[in-house]
A and B are shown apart, each in its own frame.
Chain A
Amino acid sequence: MTRADRGFVPQVLLAPAVLGLALLVVPLAALVGRVRWDTLWQDVTSPAALEALALSMRTGLVATALCILLGVPLALLIARAGNRTAAVLRALVTVPLVLPPMVGGVALLFLFGRSGWLGPALTEVGIRIPFTTTAVVLAQTFVALPFLVLALEASLRSTGVGYEQAAASLGAGRWRILTRVTLPLAAPGLVAGVVLCFARAVGEFGATALFAGNAPGVTQTMPLAIYTAFNGAGVSQGTAVALSLLLLVTAVAVLLLVRAWRPGAAR
């Protein structure tokens, strides 16, 4: 590699770049440093921890599926809309992304709660959403959906409609174009979006705490279990650290899995 290949970035910028990297990596190293290895196995295999992990994975997967089901059509709609419409739609999708999740939790409560807009009607037919696993999935979907939509939409927009027009001129139908041309071309964006979406769903805390509450096995996902254990201070803080490590390892595993599988990546 020659000098010119590496571009012309001012060398001084190396300092803040390294600092930024350190800010991201060093705290996680400190977390791993706090792990008490002698009780680690016991902590992560405790029924409470396994229950929380299972619930997180289950709700995270359902939320991700829901995001794909709703997010892919939404991304297609935005990507193929006119510039002004797309800008408005994109802004609407971005709001939950920049909003503190706590606010999302309050908002969901005001919609689905007993005194909310839909609550009374749902109570009528015997459906209660707050404090149930359904509430966890809804909260996760609320905070994760924008990640998938925005990632996929950017990808769809950059590939354009040229190939779709070519396929149409050769007689392909709309569904065939979608499944054989549009989505395969946008696959990198879709994969990135799904991974971000799943990670965000599994990590969701604020909206869940407010909207779904904190009951082991029902709504106590990993982040809530970590918060509860951390609040216990003293002895049980080991559990909080162990659970955090478990979540960290899971996140890294998911990333590696996706890297290995990602079409044309493998760098």
Chain B
Amino acid sequence: MPRRLVLLAACALALAGCAATPRATVGEDTRLTIFAAASLQGAFEEIADLFEEEHPGVAVDAIRYDGSSTLATQLIEGAAADVFASADEPNMQKVVDAGLAAPATVFATNTLTVVVPAGNPAGVTGLPDFARADPVIVQCAHEVPCGAAADRLLAGAGITAAVDSYEQNVTAVLTKVAAGEADAGLVYVTDAAGRGDIDTVATAGVDAVVNRYPIAALSGASEPDDAAAFVAFVRGPAGQRVLAARGFGAP
């Protein structure tokens, strides 16, 4: 049975290969897996690059961006990651309560703003227009931090918004406004900054609702030291400089 012999030989070779390949040795990259709220995308890409420059031998894998509650659910259901940065404290708390993260620290704050497609086709001038039936209004779902913040902002202003769609994360809100499919949406000021396809409408009272962003190294981290180093880096001067440049508030 020559075919079986060949198969056996192949298996033996494969096993030998595995044994001979060491896991991350000195000089070889250790890899960090980071879960971050969708609104952190621009800032964290930049911070990750700076972090890699300062820590040769550590590579940050493609960062997973999504709604904080989606990420929290994934972590609680067993997703493997080293660092979690949430857009609000309740979702971080869920992960801490599940015993998956050390107590988190707040590293940035954010506020909301009204955005409209470039040129403001529906003539939206502020939150009161959200109660009108005709413009298409989108905001984040209540379960997502930007949605919870939007609810608080609208409630504080005493406005019952005629919302046409509750999107799953802030990026989806931005996309629908930027594409002109929605006339107005509520997103973070940091999302609206520096985009040509949307305009920001000065919104009164937004400072009353502040989202605090916590970050934590996860207890299941495969590289605990590097995870802690990344958290420190985000909170340190370099990380804070990047965040401030993108419109985030200091913790």
Contacts and interface: CB of A to CB of B under 8 A. Distances in A.
Interface string B131-151: 000001010011110000000
B181 A214 contact: no
B186 to A, nearest CB: 15
B143 A228 contact: yes
Interface stretch (A10-18, A109-117, A145-153, A163-171): A109-117
B contacts with A: majority SS: mixed
B168 interface: yes
B160 interface: no
Given A228-B143, A233-B73, A233-B76, A214 B179 contact: no
Interface in A213-252: 213-216, 218-220, 227-234, 236-237
A227 B166 CA distance: 12
Nearest to A229: B143
Given A232-B143, A233-B76, A130 B181 contact: yes
A115 B180 contact: yes
B167 interface: yes
Nearest to A209: B168
Contacts of A90: none
A contacts with B: majority SS: loop
A128 B136 contact: yes
Given A228-B141, A230-B73, A233-B91, A215 B166 contact: yes
Contacts of B69: 231-233
17 contacts: A109-B181, A113-B179, A113-B180, A114-B181, A131-B164, A131-B165, A213-B165, A214-B166, A214-B167, A215-B166, A218-B164, A219-B165, A228-B168, A231-B67, A232-B69, A233-B91, A233-B94
Interface of B: 67, 69-70, 72-73, 76, 91, 94, 136, 138, 141-144, 163-168, 176, 179-182
